[in-house]
């Protein structure tokens, strides 16, 4: 069985973060493992508190998993601060973890900030150069580049600029753009891959970014090349969003296990 490690924060509402990642791994029939970076008090309405763990325990969780179980792919989510970003980068280098998906989680869907200001430099200098693919949304791409990204052409320009930070692939996610189609742009340094799908009108979008990155990591662990892993991950995300669970008062969770059972 293929094995995938998520390094991310815990979501008590289980719609995003570690919980969403592990459910996604299970849906792809890969064995999911975790290194928790922070504990959040969170539900569909937002984040009310965050307790960040020490870089040491984050690193020791990674050590424990890699040295015993082994890892075929890694996905990072909420890393919280520069010290954790740097710890993760050291461990990726130490263990030569090649199939690394970096989702640069900065702000929760509710608008709550999930990353300390100084951590952006650590992402750019330490972690992005080790990544096979990074998966920023429009807000994250704009924040990383210091400018607004508001059209498909600007997404392509952003992908080019972000790739200069060192990752082999950049996926700029366009879900926040207006329009009937959702367009994502993948760039490998020479070729643009443009993915589009009909927009799903739903409130069940909590954890969609985490889920997409976890699905990409799962596809990579199963042997797919990056463009194919992105395509398969987008298909899974659309399925999960369409079948979203009628839970909570805010941005509801996806139905991660929709490939196996319908909503009751």
Is 44 within the bounds of a domain? yes
How many Å apart are CA 60 and CA 154, to the nearest integer?
Answer: 40
SS3 of residue 261 by DSSP: coil
Q: Which residues of 107-122 are buried (b: 16+ CB within 10 A; e: fewer)?
A: ebbeeeebbbeebbeb
How far is it, in rounded angstroms, from Cα 109 to Cα 209? 9
User: What is the model's pLDDT at position 112?
Assistant: 62
Q: Using the 8-state DSSP alphabet, how is residue 182 labeled?
A: E
Q: Is the CA virtual torsion 149, 151, 155, 156 positive or negative?
A: negative
Q: Is residue 264 part of a domain?
A: no
Task: Say how far apart CA 79 and CA 123 lie, in whole Å.
Answer: 10
Determine which of 25-34, 103-112, 145-154 has the lowest per-residue pLDDT on average: 103-112
DSSP secondary structure string for all residues of 51-115? EEPPHHHHHHHHHHHHHHT--SEEEE---BSHHHHHHHHHHHHHTT---EEE----B-TTS-B-B
- Rounded Cα gap, residues 200 and 198, in angstroms: 6
Q: What is the CATH number of the domain that holds 34?
A: 3.40.1190.20
pLDDT at 261 over 80: yes
Given pLDDT bands bounded at 50, 70 and 90, which one contains residue 72?
very high
> DSSP assignment, residue 39?
E
Q: Is residue 234 part of a domain?
A: yes
Tokens of 193: 């891959």
Whether the predicted pLDDT of 121 surpasses 80: yes
Whether 165 maps to a domain, the answer reads: yes
- Percentage of the chain with pLDDT > 70? 97
Dihedral sign for Cα 91, 97, 77, 161, please.
Answer: positive
Check residues 247 and 263 and name the one with the higher pLDDT.
247
Please check whether residue 255 lies inside any domain of the structure. Answer: no
Decide if pLDDT at 107 tops 80: no
Q: Is pLDDT above 70 for 110? A: no
Work out whether strand 181-187 and strand 46-52 pair parallel, antiparallel, or are unpaired.
Answer: unpaired
Does 237 map to a domain?
yes
Give pTM, 2 decimals. 0.96
Least confident of 61-65, 144-148, 191-195: 144-148
Residue 40 has pLDDT above 70, yes or no: yes
| Mean pLDDT, range 231-247, rounded to an integer | 95
SS3 content of the chain, % helix, strand, coil (to 5): 40, 25, 40
Q: Name the residue with higher pLDDT: 201 or 221.
A: 221
Range of the domain at 123: 3-242
Q: Which residue has the higher pLDDT, 115 or 230?
A: 230
Q: Rounded CA gap, 31 and 40, in Å?
A: 24
In this predicted model, what pLDDT tens digit does every residue of 189-202 receive, in sequence order?
Answer: 999 999 999 999 89
Cα–Cα distance between 242 and 230 in angstroms, integer? 18
Tell me whether residue 261 is in a domain: no
- Number of domains the chain is built from: 1
Q: What is the pLDDT of residue 141?
A: 95
Phi, psi (degrees; rounded to nearest 5) at 196: -140, 150
Q: Is 263 inside any structural domain?
A: no
Confidence at residue 109, expressed as pLDDT on a 0 to 100 scale: 64
pLDDT band (50, 70, 90) for residue 233 = very high
Pick the residue with more confidence: 66 or 115? 66
């Amino acid at each position: 069985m293929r094995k995938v490690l998520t390094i991310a924060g815990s979501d008590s509402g289980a719609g995003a973060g570690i919980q969403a990642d592990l459910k996604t791994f299970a849906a792809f029939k890969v064995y999911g493992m975790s290194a928790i970076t922070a504990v959040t008090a969170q539900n569909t309405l937002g984040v009310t508190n965050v307790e960040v763990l020490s870089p040491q325990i984050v690193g020791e969780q990674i050590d424990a998993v890699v040295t015993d179980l082994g890892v075929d792919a890694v996905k990072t989510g909420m890393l919280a601060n520069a010290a954790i970003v740097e710890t993760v980068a050291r461990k990726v280098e130490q263990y030569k973890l090649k199939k690394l998906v970096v989702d640069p989680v900065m702000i929760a869907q509710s608008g709550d900030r999930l990353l300390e200001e100084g951590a952006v430099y650590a992402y750019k200098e330490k972690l992005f150069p080790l990544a096979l693919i990074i998966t920023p949304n429009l807000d994250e791409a704009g924040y990383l580049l210091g400018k607004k990204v508001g059209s498909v052409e600007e997404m392509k320009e952003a992908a080019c600029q972000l790739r200069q930070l060192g990752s082999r692939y950049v996926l700029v996610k366009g879900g926040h753009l207006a329009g009937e189609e959702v367009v994502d742009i993948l760039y490998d340094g020479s070729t643009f891959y443009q993915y589009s799908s009909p927009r799903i009108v739903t409130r069940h979008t909590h954890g969609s970014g985490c889920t997409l990155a976890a699905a990409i990591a799962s596809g990579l662990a199963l042997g797919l090349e990056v463009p194919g892993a992105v395509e398969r991950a987008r298909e899974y995300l659309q399925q999960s969003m369409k079948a979203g669970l009628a839970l909570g008062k805010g941005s509801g969770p996806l139905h991660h296990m929709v490939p196996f059972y319908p909503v009751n």
